[in-house]
Amino acid sequence: MKQVVQNFKTGKLSVEDLPMPSISTGMVLVENEYSLISAGTEKSTVKVGKASLLGKAKQRPDLVAQVLRNIKKEGLAATIRKVKTRLDSLKALGYSTSGTVLTSMDKKGEFKKGDRVACAGQDYASHAEVVAVPQNLVVKIPDNVSAMEASFTTLGAIALQGVRQAEVKLGEKVCVIGLGLLGQITCQLLKANGCSVLGIDISERLVQLAKENGANKALNRNDNNLIAACEHFTNGHGFDSVIITAAASTNDPVVFSTEVLRKKGKLIIVGAVTMDIPREPHFYKKELELRISCSYGPGRYDVNYEELGNDYPYPYVRWTEKRNMEAFLDLLSNGLINVKHLISHNFEIADAEKAYDIVVGNVSEPYLGIVLNYPPRLEKYSTAFKSNNVPLAKINVGFIGAGNFAQSYLIPNVKSFGVNLNTVVTSKGINAKSVATKFGFNTYTTAIGDLLMNRDVDTVFIATPHTLHTPQAIEAMKADKNVFVEKPLATTLDQLTGIIEAKKSYNKPLMVGFNRRFATVSQYIKNEFSNSGEPIVMNIRVNAGFIPKEHWMQIEDLGAGRIIGEMCHFVDLMQFLSESDPIEVYATSIASANNKITNYDNIAIVITFRNGSIGNLLYLSNGDAALPKEHIEIFGAGKVGVINDFKNAEVYKNGKRIQSRHPGKGHEQEVKLFLKNMLEGNDAPVSFRSICLTTLTTFKIIDSLNTSLPQKISIDELL
């Protein structure tokens, strides 16, 4: 399928042939008929991509700060690798489309094949022939609304949310600053709501368009009589509300708004403007109210709503993203809004580069609403494409999932081992091609079946969201593949039982990414305590850092929480250091009334091992990032071993301190040892029993927290 993409590193924009996306539960697969270029947003995005590295840094200081934090956390070399990986990627453009449903896996059975729908969402409703969109960002199009008109739905929902934030009433006088697409639609919405509307812009062409379609009056910002005209329009009282839909690098729209608003008036910011708000002379004395409008409405940036399809209750959240989209389409259907006159250009998808030449100013031509159309095609869309033709090797690897972690820690180490990178699978074709091009995979696809049925692939790495690990690992074993699954192995007891049965049935090597036991410092410390015959005491303190509840890791249906998804690392490390099975665990957490805090992210755990060893794990998210993340102490046999954030190790024995500096958390050693074992026909380097014990222990930690009682750990009944 054709899709508009931009290389974020070089800034080059192109129309590429990519695999059509795949869908999962809660998603809808749509064949686009039209998509709308949001000139303001996309012009900014494209310009950032075309900027130099320094230019990108200047435009995104938030990302620069993130890089600096990562340098402190992981070091310069690791951070540079991460930055290069993220820069050298393809970016999707667009977020407002309309088309026809090809197939749907929405949870409510709302959409059927052939339904005409409008779609929203960055990285979902892209400029592509086929898009996969979460169900709450898809709405049906009324019969009397054309697909071209419906492609405006996302922009319409954004404008509608801005109007809702103003809480306008019949007869109120409202000023709209910025008469681009959003501003033009906003003027019409206000007029339909019974308001008197005055529009302002620096473009005389847009001023005239607003006069003809929606605004009672429209003026140029540079008009010498602008203030007087505003006073006359409001009979000297000032506007009830000002809605800023402009994009501006200065605070002029904000300052001007404070001048023309009435006392106790409302200022609504929809566009990207500088919000340097002067207290004097107007904001304070008029007791003005400032409101920010968040995109299409309630649900935006909420993973539970947008990605998992969980709706807000209608009586309590009347206007969500989806309901705003539906309302806008109803207004189009009833003739209260007209967007046809806002369309200045219509390009076929193959000519999309010409459209963006206009948007970014390479071609000097007036424009407003630019739509892309997608001619019907007779041939089927492909899910797999060839990228390279590297000869097969003794080990031929496929990847299911290739996010930032896989690209930073797994794929580079697999590649450096010298295997054949055969196939990479991601749900979106743009990501699959980006990864294949970057690392040299032979094939990229969006269908897991393409990989599993590929007899050339003998070894599969799984790096998808946590809740998918078990079913995908089972399918890979069924397909006669060796399996490396990134932690955790399973997120529920049923999943663990299922993969144990699969292991018995198919008996394929299975490895889980518990990397810390493979770190050089871990091996060094382990050797110091081996063969002593004495139990050890292990103290592990993890200053993990705060992750908000809306992060995918915290959501049960995606990440299953940090106990299962992260603390498993340290349970495995304790097993490795003690050379013994965990047999009992007790856990307790803080009890904070602060709703932002996840109490189970701040936890004290005591694990008893069969050989008498004890492990204490303090896992904390309420500290400060300036403290190194992981500190490990081991006591026993008259010695003390210390691991300092996996950067160096210390051993205290015979009254002396011995240091060993070998930074790294074991990702490279883990991957290469696994591949070496596969090459030699051996099993995975960590026993399946140990992996299952670690997984079961994390479940027992949760049971202990829920019951406030110690929990026995026994894997034998499952095995």
Task: Clarify whether residues 562 and 703 are in a common domain.
Answer: yes
Same domain? For 473 and 582 the reply is: no
CA 474 – CA 470 distance, rounded (Å): 6
State which amino acid sits at residue 678: M
Per-residue b/e over 233-243, b at no fewer than 16 CB within 10 Å? bbeeebbbbbb
Are 566 and 696 contained in the same domain?
yes
Where residue 541 sits, what CATH number does that domain have?
3.30.360.10
Task: Please check whether residues 540 and 685 belong to one and the same domain.
Answer: yes
- The sheet with strand 217-220 has its strands ordered as 217-220, 196-201, 173-177, 239-244, 261-269, 289-292
- Percent share of the chain, pLDDT over 70: 95
Instruction: Give yes or no: residues 342 and 440 share one domain.
Output: no
Are residues 309 and 416 located together in one domain of the fold?
A: no
Continuous H helices in 383-464: 404-405, 411-417, 429-439, 448-452
Residue 121, domain member (yes or no):
yes
Q: Which of 266, 292, 318 is where one domain is finished?
A: 292
Low-confidence residues of the chain: pLDDT under 50: none
CB atoms within 10 A of CB 207: 21
Examine the domain organization and report whether 477 and 528 are in the same domain. no
Question: Is residue 719 included in any domain, yes or no?
Answer: no
Residue 406 lies in a domain: yes
Q: Considering only CA atoms, which of 121, 65, 145, 566 is closest in space to residue 321?
A: 121
Check which CATH number belongs to the domain holding 46 and give it.
3.90.180.10
Tell me which DSSP letter residue 112 carries: -
From the list 178, 195, 134, 184, the residue with the least C-alpha distance to 156 is: 184
Q: Which two tokens stand for residue 82?
A: 């991460």
φ and ψ of 256, to 5 deg: -60, -40
Q: Which one of 481, 509, 537 terminates a domain?
A: 509
Is 16 found in the same domain as 35? yes
Residue owning tokens 């904001």: 283
Burial class (CB in 10 A: 0-12, 13-18, 19+), 202: middle
Residues 537 and 648 in one domain: yes
Let me know whether 29 and 96 are in one domain.
yes
**Per-residue model confidence (pLDDT) at position 59:** 58
| Residue 297 lies inside a defined structural domain of this protein | no
pLDDT tens digits, residue range 651-710?
999 999 999 999 999 999 999 999 999 999 999 999 999 999 999 999 999 999 999 999
pTM: 0.90
Number of folded domains that form the chain: 4
Q: Which domain holds residue 436?
A: 384-509
Is residue 332 situated within a structural domain? yes
Domain boundary among 349, 373, 397: 373
Strand partners, 120: 96
- 222/169 same-domain check: yes
Q: Strand, helix or coil at 53?
A: helix
Tokens at residue 543, please? 């200053």
- Residue 98 lies inside a defined structural domain of this protein: yes
Give the CATH number, domain containing residue 462.
Answer: 3.40.50.720
Is residue 317 assigned to a domain?
Answer: yes
Residues 17 and 144 in one domain: yes
Residue 378 lies in a domain: no
Q: What is the pLDDT of residue 5?
A: 95
**Residue 673 zone, left/alpha/beta (φ > 0; ψ -120 to 50; rest):** alpha
